[in-house]
């Protein structure tokens, strides 16, 4: 018996698929299609197990769809702009382009070694000017359509690295790399108007039926629709004067206009224009604002900080209580870019307001009384009451329920011209400017006379210059000696290029469309996009549940608004795969160890390979470099082959769940391949020729006996495995393959019928296994005498005559109570069912052998005996 030589075999079939252009995308744009896409990788250097998981899952789907006769588009590319390339340039002096393209070459080879059914001729690399030129054009179109604009906005500024930081790069108020305290700065930035589609992006979530519920909820929360009111307060000076020129109006946004009678103060954001002008004359306030700015811009940091404020010395007139005045504060918990950047505080019914009120001795007046409590006795301690109830201490709102009171308050505000109902979204416009080199240049020219001007079409693309240096902090584009100096396209005078580049989410927001026609001189060929889009099955990490997916949904709508495309939703089906986990190890000194440094002695005991000292086993956690619980998938592919790794990935747990990477799991997959190999190798010489008609004794109609029963098992396996794969229950599909393997191994005898069914079983097994373990499946298929390659062979069809259960389990009730079950041939007649039910001892105990009053038979389901 030969040993399965995976190395030679995997190479052989990868070459054969290549030679046959087996995964080329069909050119004709008609017929059923399946666009299967996995989120493209960032070329970090090497593939990691997360990549292996996502690309395996996608590949199983793509191969299955191809076998089902779909035209399949299954492409791959590189999300190639981004910070790590610049860091590599700074740390190792290698140019970002060189670093990136080297990594791509390496990772492409790694992905190819996995045997993915990818059309590599469609590869897209986002740092290639042939790619990003199109998004420069699109951006200018968005600008024309009012979907892009420029405004000042607050950013986290690292004063040492001279760069803007994303919120995630601010750690405890300090720059993640420089460690310098972060400042808030106002910069002119470009924005995409994602809020223009806030409603649509939210409402259309309901149409995404093949998306995980949890992703839809996350998006909905991110968009965060709030119904409430905008209220105009009249301000006047008390201890301080209103700044000159201020009209005395302050607008606040609230979701609780019903609580207005409980208002204790009004507060504005430290970044509110009014705070700015007051600070000019108030050094204490200016110092407070500076302190707030040092917190950074992240909502989380603001949420966690102690609630603090400074009294401005202004007062606001209460809209409903004549003569009542509320102090106006600048407070650190009011965000400038939500609502109006100003609030009224109702301490009794909002926790932040309550904390604030306790700190500054402001009144806490409950106005919503929980059902069952009385207004006189109800008090709020250190926990705000945010529940439902009836209004009290609230003038004309007294006695109303919260919802009624909201509506009534809004009516009154509107009638008196002090406000109106309003809907606000948490969603902000998407700031796309980054002060970085390794990104797509924003195609704008700034002219002192004409303002920002779009780069004319004929001058696109604006290419990144290659000759840049990374020896000083800040953006290399800004200090390049010549690149930014150009003439204004409008007036011809000296002008300067925009030196910011796009956020790298820009590239990933439309790459799926580029794959439809990657060589097109337009962003994509409209006919091809109309045919292929939307993506039928998208696969990727849950970490992209919000930003990437939301930006792509926005981009698709923006492209539609500009006439590029006809659809609104880019991804019809979404599968978010879970994380890959591994157990953790520590040595005697508590230091983390890599799995390869550890030898397992038993289920609970492990030692260090180097010196045999004991190792503490920790629980399985998401693989991370910091805990060293990582495995390099390449070493496993090299040692066991791609099929083993693919099978392990698919079989271990449902795709959306976390996967525990274990040696024993890999070993189990490896052993299964060996078993399958031997099974086919042993049986092959004794099988009837391929295509031999079924002997009568095992014919779908009229067959019987053990070999015929085996046929039924085979066809049920086809049906079930197909259902599983359609529902993305890949692990269950693998479990069925294992069952089928056992069933085929158990087919006994060497008569014609047994040998014929054995062939059918083995062929079926190999065909069902092909999407998961494609290399060995091809080889076994050849051994079985398959003519075409398996990749060109259709998916097996279950014969309906063989998949129906021969028997059914029927419930037997006496007077409506379950007393037992009986096995009956499917569609047995009523008399037979009745007879079998009455013969049950449990039933006889009730009838005492006497004929029952009545028997009701629901065929194949229930027999109810009325005694």
Q: Does 338 bind ligand ANZ (CB under 6 A)?
A: yes
Per-residue binder mask for ligand ANZ (CB under 6 A), 249-288, x = binder: ----xxxx--x-----------------------------
Which residues, 6+ apart, have CB-to-CB distance to 167 below 8 Å? Answer: 156, 296, 297, 298, 299, 300
Give the span between the Cα atoms of 21 and 115, in whole angstroms.
13
In the complex, the smallest distance separating the C-beta of residue 457 from Zn ion, rounded to whole angstroms, is 18
Angle CA(228)–CA(231)–CA(233) in degrees, nearest 5? 155
Q: Does 319 bind ligand ANZ (CB under 6 A)?
A: no
**Which ranges in 328-417 belong to alpha helices (H)?**
351-360, 402-415
Q: CA–CA distance from 707 to each of 112, 693, 712, 714, 762 (Å)?
A: 41, 15, 9, 11, 14
CB nearer ligand ANZ, residue 62 or residue 409 = 409
Question: CB atoms < 10 A from the CB of 225, how many?
Answer: 15
Q: Does 332 bind ligand ANZ (CB under 6 A)?
A: no
| SS (HEC) of 630-650 | CCCHHHHHHHHCHHHHHHHHH
CB nearer ligand ANZ, residue 48 or residue 230 = 230
Per-residue binder mask for ligand ANZ (CB under 6 A), 214-253, x = binder: ------------x--------------------------x
Q: CA–CA distance from 669 to each of 333, 390, 636, 643, 653 (Å)?
A: 54, 63, 12, 9, 13
CB nearer ligand ANZ, residue 48 or residue 349 = 349
Which residues, 6+ apart, have CB-to-CB distance to 242 below 8 Å? Answer: 235, 236, 248, 314
Residue 819 sits at φ, ψ, to 5 deg, of -120, -10
| HSE, side-chain direction, 13 A CA sphere, residue 640 | 23
Residue 341 touches which of Zn ion, ligand ANZ, none (Cβ within 5-8 Å per kind): ligand ANZ
CB nearer ligand ANZ, residue 220 or residue 496 = 220
Environment class of 567 (CB within 10 Å of its CB; exposed 0-12, middle 13-18, buried 19+): middle
Residue 450 touches which of ligand ANZ, Zn ion, none (Cβ within 5-8 Å per kind): Zn ion
CB nearer ligand ANZ, residue 317 or residue 673 = 317
And the tokens for 637? 């592919």
Residue (of 221, 81, 149) closest to 558 by Cα position? 149
Residue 490 touches which of ligand ANZ, Zn ion, none (Cβ within 5-8 Å per kind): Zn ion
CB nearer ligand ANZ, residue 113 or residue 424 = 424
Give the span between the Cα atoms of 429 and 452, in whole angstroms.
20
Residue 17 touches which of Zn ion, ligand ANZ, none (Cβ within 5-8 Å per kind): none
Which residues, 6+ apart, have CB-to-CB distance to 739 below 8 Å? Answer: 717
In the complex, the smallest distance separating the C-beta of residue 148 from ligand ANZ, rounded to whole angstroms, is 24
Q: Does 339 bind ligand ANZ (CB under 6 A)?
A: yes
Which letter does DSSP use for residue 19 in this model? H
In the complex, the smallest distance separating the C-beta of residue 490 from Zn ion, rounded to whole angstroms, is 4
In the complex, the smallest distance separating the C-beta of residue 454 from Zn ion, rounded to whole angstroms, is 12
Q: Of 10, 135, 282, 350, which one interacts with ligand ANZ (CB under 6 A)?
A: 350
In the complex, the smallest distance separating the C-beta of residue 452 from Zn ion, rounded to whole angstroms, is 10
- Compute CA 282 distance to the chain's CA centroid, rounded to the nearest angstrom: 47
Residue 259 touches which of ligand ANZ, Zn ion, none (Cβ within 5-8 Å per kind): ligand ANZ
CB nearer ligand ANZ, residue 234 or residue 738 = 234
Polymer length in residues for the chain: 867
Which residues, 6+ apart, have CB-to-CB distance to 272 below 8 Å? Answer: 330, 334, 336, 341, 342
Per-residue binder mask for ligand ANZ (CB under 6 A), 395-434, x = binder: -----------------------------x----------
Residue 338 touches which of Zn ion, ligand ANZ, none (Cβ within 5-8 Å per kind): ligand ANZ
Q: CA–CA distance from 793 to each of 36, 674, 693 (Å)?
A: 19, 23, 19
Residue 476 touches which of Zn ion, ligand ANZ, none (Cβ within 5-8 Å per kind): none
CB nearer ligand ANZ, residue 65 or residue 349 = 349
Residue 339 touches which of ligand ANZ, Zn ion, none (Cβ within 5-8 Å per kind): ligand ANZ
Give the span between the Cα atoms of 403 and 226, in whole angstroms.
14
Residue (of 281, 275, 277) closest to 293 by Cα position? 275
The residue range among 303-311, 339-347, 706-714, 781-789 that interacts with ligand ANZ, by the rule CB under 6 A, is 339-347
Q: Does 761 bind ligand ANZ (CB under 6 A)?
A: no
Q: Does 328 bind ligand ANZ (CB under 6 A)?
A: no
Looking at residues 148 to 177 of the shown chain, list those that interact with ligand ANZ (rule: CB under 6 A): none
Q: Of 346, 513, 734, 843, which one interacts with ligand ANZ (CB under 6 A)?
A: 346
CB nearer ligand ANZ, residue 378 or residue 592 = 378
CB nearer ligand ANZ, residue 226 or residue 813 = 226
CB nearer Zn ion, residue 448 or residue 806 = 448
Residue 253 touches which of Zn ion, ligand ANZ, none (Cβ within 5-8 Å per kind): ligand ANZ
Q: Of 184, 349, 497, 719, which one interacts with ligand ANZ (CB under 6 A)?
A: 349
Residue 447 touches which of ligand ANZ, Zn ion, none (Cβ within 5-8 Å per kind): Zn ion
Residue 598 sits at φ, ψ, to 5 deg, of -120, 140
CB nearer ligand ANZ, residue 410 or residue 424 = 424
Question: CB atoms < 10 A from the CB of 420, how many?
Answer: 13
Q: Of 40, 42, 78, 344, which one interacts with ligand ANZ (CB under 6 A)?
A: 344
Give the span between the Cα atoms of 351 and 19, in whole angstroms.
67
In the complex, the smallest distance separating the C-beta of residue 250 from ligand ANZ, rounded to whole angstroms, is 12
CB nearer ligand ANZ, residue 58 or residue 296 = 296
Contact present, 232 and 260 (Cβ < 8 Å): no
In the complex, the smallest distance separating the C-beta of residue 201 from ligand ANZ, rounded to whole angstroms, is 17
| Count, residues near ligand ANZ per rule CB under 6 A | 18
Residue (of 82, 120, 121, 119) closest to 103 by Cα position? 82
Question: CB atoms < 10 A from the CB of 40, how many?
Answer: 22
Contact present, 261 and 278 (Cβ < 8 Å): no
In the complex, the smallest distance separating the C-beta of residue 330 from ligand ANZ, rounded to whole angstroms, is 12
What are the residues binding Zn ion (CB under 5 A)? 447, 449-450, 488, 490-491
CB nearer ligand ANZ, residue 271 or residue 864 = 271
Give the span between the Cα atoms of 836 and 820, in whole angstroms.
11
Q: Does 335 bind ligand ANZ (CB under 6 A)?
A: yes
Contact present, 562 and 598 (Cβ < 8 Å): no
Give the span between the Cα atoms of 636 and 43, in whole angstroms.
20
CB nearer Zn ion, residue 447 or residue 710 = 447
Give the span between the Cα atoms of 241 and 314, in whole angstroms.
7
Q: Does 334 bind ligand ANZ (CB under 6 A)?
A: yes
**Which residues here bind ligand ANZ, judged by CB under 6 A?**
226, 253-256, 259, 333-335, 338-339, 341, 343-344, 346, 349-350, 424
């Amino acid at each position: 018996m030969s040993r399965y030589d995976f190395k030679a075999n995997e190479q052989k079939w990868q070459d054969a698929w290549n030679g046959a252009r087996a995964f080329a995308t069909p050119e004709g744009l008609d017929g059923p299609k399946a666009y299967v896409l996995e989120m493209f990788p960032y070329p970090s250097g090497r593939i990691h197990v997360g990549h292996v998981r996502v690309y395996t899952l996608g590949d199983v789907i793509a191969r299955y769809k191809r076998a089902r006769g779909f035209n399949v588009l299954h492409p791959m590319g590189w999300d190639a702009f981004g910070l790590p390339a610049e860091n590599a340039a700074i740390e190792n002096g290698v140019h970002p382009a060189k670093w990136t393209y080297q990594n791509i070459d390496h990772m492409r080879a790694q992905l190819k070694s996995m045997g993915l059914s990818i059309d590599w001729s469609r590869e897209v690399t986002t740092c290639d000017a042939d790619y990003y030129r199109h998004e420069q054009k699109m951006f200018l179109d968005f600008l024309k359509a009012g979907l892009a604009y420029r405004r000042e906005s607050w950013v986290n500024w690292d004063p040492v690295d001279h760069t803007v930081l994303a919120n995630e790069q601010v750690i405890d108020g300090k720059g993640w790399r420089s460690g310098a305290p972060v400042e808030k700065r106002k910069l002119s930035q470009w924005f995409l108007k994602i809020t223009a589609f806030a409603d649509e992006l939210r409402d259309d979530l309901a149409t995404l039926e093949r998306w995980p519920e949890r992703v839809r909820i996350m998006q909905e929360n991110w968009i965060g629709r709030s119904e409430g009111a905008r209220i105009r307060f009249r301000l006047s000076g008390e201890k301080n004067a209103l700044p000159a020129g201020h009209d005395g109006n302050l607008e606040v946004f609230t979701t609780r206009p019903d609580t207005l009678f409980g208002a204790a103060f009004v507060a504005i954001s430290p970044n509110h224009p009014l705070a700015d002008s007051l600070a000019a004359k108030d050094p204490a306030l200016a110092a407070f604002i500076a302190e707030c700015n040092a917190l950074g811009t992240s909502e989380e940091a603001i949420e966690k900080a102690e609630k603090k404020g400074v009294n401005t010395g202004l007062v606001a007139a209460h809209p409903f209580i004549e003569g009542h005045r509320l102090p106006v504060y600048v407070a650190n918990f009011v965000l400038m870019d939500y609502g109006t950047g100003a609030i009224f505080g109702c301490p009794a019914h909002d926790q932040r307001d309550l904390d604030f009120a306790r700190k500054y001795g402001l009144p806490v007046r409950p106005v919503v009384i929980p059902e069952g409590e009385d207004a006189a006795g109800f008090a709020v301690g250190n926990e705000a009451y945010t529940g439902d109830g009836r209004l009290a201490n609230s003038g004309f709102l007294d006695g109303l329920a919260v919802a009624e009171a909201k509506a009534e308050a809004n009516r009154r505000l509107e009638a008196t011209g002090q406000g109106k109902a309003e809907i606000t979204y948490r969603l902000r416009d998407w700031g796309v400017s980054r002060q970085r080199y390794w990104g797509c240049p924003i195609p704008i020219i700034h002219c002192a006379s004409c303002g920002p001007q779009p780069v004319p079409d004929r001058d696109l693309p604006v290419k990144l210059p290659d000759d840049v240096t990374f020896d000083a902090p800040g953006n290399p584009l800004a200090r390049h000696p010549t690149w930014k100096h150009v003439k204004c396209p409008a007036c011809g005078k000296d002008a300067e290029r925009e030196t910011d580049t796009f956020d790298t989410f820009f590239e990933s927001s439309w790459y799926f469309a580029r794959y439809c026609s990657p060589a097109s001189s337009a962003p994509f060929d409209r006919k091809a996009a109309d045919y292929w889009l939307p993506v039928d099955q998208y696969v990727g990490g849950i970490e992209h549940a919000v930003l990437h997916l939301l930006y792509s949904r926005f981009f698709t709508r923006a492209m539609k608004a500009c006439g590029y495309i006809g659809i609104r939703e880019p991804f019809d089906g979404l599968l978010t795969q879970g994380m890959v986990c591994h157990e953790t190890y520590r040595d005697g000194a508590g230091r983390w160890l890599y799995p390869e440094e550890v030898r397992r002695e038993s289920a609970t005991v492990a030692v260090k390979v180097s010196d045999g000292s004991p190792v503490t086993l920790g629980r399985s956690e998401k693989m991370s470099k910091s805990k060293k619980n990582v495995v390099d998938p390449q070493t496993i592919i090299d040692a066991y082959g791609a099929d083993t790794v693919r099978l392990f990935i698919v079989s271990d747990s449902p795709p959306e769940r976390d996967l525990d990477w274990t040696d024993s799991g890999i070993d189990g997959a490896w052993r299964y391949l060996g078993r399958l190999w031997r099974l086919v190798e042993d049986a092959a010489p004794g099988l009837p020729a391929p295509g031999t008609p079924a002997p009568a004794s095992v014919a779908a109609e009229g067959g019987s006996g053990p070999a015929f029963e085996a046929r039924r098992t085979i066809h049920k396996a086809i049906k079930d495995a197909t259902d599983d794969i359609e529902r993305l229950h890949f692990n269950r599909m693998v479990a069925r393959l294992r069952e089928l393997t056992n069933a085929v191994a158990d087919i006994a005898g060497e008569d014609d019928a047994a040998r014929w069914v054995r062939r059918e079983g083995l062929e079926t097994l190999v065909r069902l296994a092909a999407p998961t373990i494609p290399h060995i499946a091809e080889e076994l298929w050849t051994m079985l005498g398959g003519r075409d390659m398996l990749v060109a062979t259709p998916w097996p069809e279950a014969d309906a005559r063989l998949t129906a259960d021969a028997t059914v389990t029927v419930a037997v009730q006496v007077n409506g109570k379950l007393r037992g079950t009986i096995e009956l041939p499917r569609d047995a007649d009523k008399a037979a069912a009745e007879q079998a039910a009455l013969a049950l001892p449990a039933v006889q105990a009730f009838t005492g052998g006497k004929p029952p009053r009545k028997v009701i038979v629901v065929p194949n389901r229930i027999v109810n005996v009325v005694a």
